[in-house]
């Protein structure tokens, strides 16, 4: 059944000149039919390079918006209109405009997990894989980092030459894992390396053997000589790694690492989206796209 739907999707996407992008948190059967999969930064770059005129995003809304902003001439669909990122919606433009008034000489660095509206008033975007590199390269040594205070703390710690102002935002799934859970997991699996996403709390990151984006965690585990890993990011990553590396062992850091929004999309939804029966075409006005693009272009330039 799954194979039949996959075959049908592959046939239709070729006929209709469609490119399917999938974030690494998507289900295995979706990653199998995607033209490209990866972390947020990789998807942004791939979206620009794709030759097809229509792009279907299997992920959450800010990812589809980013594709549209980078390729306004393309038709971009978000497979599941209800798939948002709670962190991206935590802070709106009006609130950040007020904060900016308090910190007028700060450069506003926005995690890509923000709405297109919010990006219009930010100076530069970053992803988890590009944040350190980009913040280091900024001329200003005063940084207002939004919205994720955990990723922001990770940046502040690794770029000590900058003053980083943080706000109270974050990923409900990653931020819910407590440092004590990391301690317990390490005791339970003493031979395993702990690999975590920088959206985790500083007390969790401090115990990690490696900190990186979803793709960086996967690459690290695949290339490592070690054969046991505790995975501190969405549960799907431990599942994908177990499938790809059957001789190694992968233990989820916590069952709380579940992003319900990333799990909304099914293979059938992708099929229906290609058929035009579901999905949402991303429509952003030209002023929003132009203003938001400045911060994304700056990310691509510096990253
Ligand atoms: P990555 O940039 O690592 O793919 O992270 C995106 C995300 O939403 C993690 O929760
Ligand atoms: Fe957003 Fe967290 Fe889900 Fe990533 S895991 S999409 S940051 S809610």
Quote the ligand 1 centre to 190 CA distance (angstroms).
27
Task: Check residue 45 and give its pLDDT.
Answer: 83
Confidence category of residue 49, pLDDT binned at 50, 70, 90 = confident
Q: Is 257 in the pocket of ligand 2 (CB under 6 A)?
A: no
Q: How far is CA 225 from the centre of its chain?
A: 27
Mapping DSSP to helix (H, G, I), strand (E, B) and coil, where does residue 140 land?
A: coil
Return d(Cα 32, Cα 257) in angstroms, integer. Answer: 23
CB burial of residue 124 (10 Å; 0-12, 13-18, 19+) = buried
Task: Check residue 48 and give its pLDDT.
Answer: 81
Strand ranges of the sheet holding 249-252, from the earlier edge strand across to the other edge: 210-211, 193-196, 228-232, 249-252
CATH superfamily of 2-83+262-286: NadA-like (3.40.50.10800)
Task: Check residue 85 and give its pLDDT.
Answer: 97
Q: Mutate which of 64, 66, 86 to test ligand 2's pocket (most atoms within 8 Å of Cβ)? A: 86
Q: Domain spanning 93-171+289-302 has what CATH number?
A: 3.40.50.10800
Q: Is 27 in the pocket of ligand 2 (CB under 6 A)?
A: no
Look at residues 23, 19, 67, 46 and name the one whose alpha carbon lies nearest to residue 262. 23
Tens digit of each residue's pLDDT (9 = 90 or more) over 187-225: 999 999 999 999 999 999 999 999 999 999 999 999 999
Task: Check residue 159 and give its pLDDT.
Answer: 98
Look at residues 26, 78, 138 and name the one whose alpha carbon lies nearest to residue 280. 78
Only one residue has tokens 């097809």, namely: 52
Task: Check residue 111 and give its pLDDT.
Answer: 97
Quote the ligand 1 centre to 83 CA distance (angstroms).
14
Q: Which helix (H) or strand (E) holds 183?
A: helix 179-188
Confidence category of residue 24, pLDDT binned at 50, 70, 90 = very high
Q: Domain spanning 177-256 has what CATH number?
A: 3.40.50.10800
Look at residues 35, 85, 92, 36 and name the one whose alpha carbon lies nearest to residue 65. 85
Q: Phi and psi for 58 in degrees, rounded to 5?
A: -100, 100
Residue spans of the domains in the chain: they are: 2-83+262-286, 93-171+289-302, 177-256
Measured CA distances, 187 to 62, 121, 205, 238, 303 (Å):
37, 45, 16, 19, 37
Confidence category of residue 42, pLDDT binned at 50, 70, 90 = confident
Q: Is it the case that residue 44 has pLDDT exceeding 80?
A: no
Q: Are strands 249-252 and 193-196 parallel, antiparallel or unpaired?
A: unpaired
DSSP string, 185-225: HHHHSTTPEEEE-TTS-HHHHTT-SEE--HHHHHHHHHH-S
Tens digit of each residue's pLDDT (9 = 90 or more) over 115-170: 999 999 999 999 999 999 999 999 999 999 999 999 999 999 999 999 999 999 99
Return d(Cα 177, Cα 174) in angstroms, integer. Answer: 6
Q: Is 83 in the pocket of ligand 2 (CB under 6 A)?
A: no
Return d(Cα 77, Cα 80) in angstroms, integer. Answer: 9
Task: Report which protein residue has its CA nearest ligand 2's atom 6.
Answer: 85
Return d(Cα 291, Cα 79) in angstroms, integer. Answer: 25
Mean pLDDT, residues 222-244 taken together: 98
- The neighbouring-strand residues paired with 111 are 126
Ligand 1 atom closest to 234 (CA): 10
State the average pLDDT for the chain. 96
Return d(Cα 69, Cα 283) in angstroms, integer. Answer: 10
Q: Do domains 2-83+262-286 and 93-171+289-302 have the same CATH topology?
A: yes
Q: Is it the case that residue 83 has pLDDT exceeding 80?
A: yes
Q: How far is CA 183 from the centre of its chain?
A: 26
DSSP secondary-structure letter at 233? S
Residues of the chain above pLDDT 70, percent = 100
């Amino acid at each position: 059944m799954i194979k039949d739907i996959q075959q049908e999707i592959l046939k239709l996407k070729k006929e209709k000149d469609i490119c399917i992008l999938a974030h690494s948190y998507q289900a295995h059967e979706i990653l199998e039919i995607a033209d490209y999969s990866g972390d947020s930064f990789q998807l942004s770059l791939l979206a620009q390079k794709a030759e097809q005129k229509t792009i279907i995003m299997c992920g959450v809304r800010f990812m589809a918006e980013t594709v549209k902003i980078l390729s306004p001439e393309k038709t971009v669909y978000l497979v599941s209109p209800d798939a948002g990122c709670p962190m991206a919606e935590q802070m709106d433009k009006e609130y950040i405009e007020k904060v900016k008034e308090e910190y007028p000489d700060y450069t506003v660095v926005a995690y890509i997990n923000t709405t297109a509206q919010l990006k219009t008033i930010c100076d530069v975007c970053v992803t988890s894989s590009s944040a350190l590199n980009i913040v280091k390269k900024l001329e200003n040594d005063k940084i207002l980092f939004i919205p994720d205070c955990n990723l922001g703390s990770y940046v502040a710690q690794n770029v000590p030459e900058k003053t980083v102002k943080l706000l109270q935002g974050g990923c409900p799934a990653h931020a819910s894992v407590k440092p004590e859970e990391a301690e317990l997991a390490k005791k339970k699996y003493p031979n395993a390396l702990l690999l975590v996403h920088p959206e985790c709390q500083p007390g969790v990151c401090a115990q990690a053997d490696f900190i990186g984006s979803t793709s960086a965690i996967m690459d690290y585990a695949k290339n490592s000589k070690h054969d046991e890993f505790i995975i501190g990011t969405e549960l799907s990553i431990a599942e994908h790694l177990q499938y790809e590396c059957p001789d190694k062992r992968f233990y989820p850091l916590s069952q709380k690492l579940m992003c319900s929004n990333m799990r909304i999309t099914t293979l059938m939804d992708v099929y229906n989206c290609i058929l035009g029966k579901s999905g949402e075409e991303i429509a952003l006005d030209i002023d929003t796209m132009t203003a938001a693009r400045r911060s994304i272009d700056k990310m691509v330039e510096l990253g």
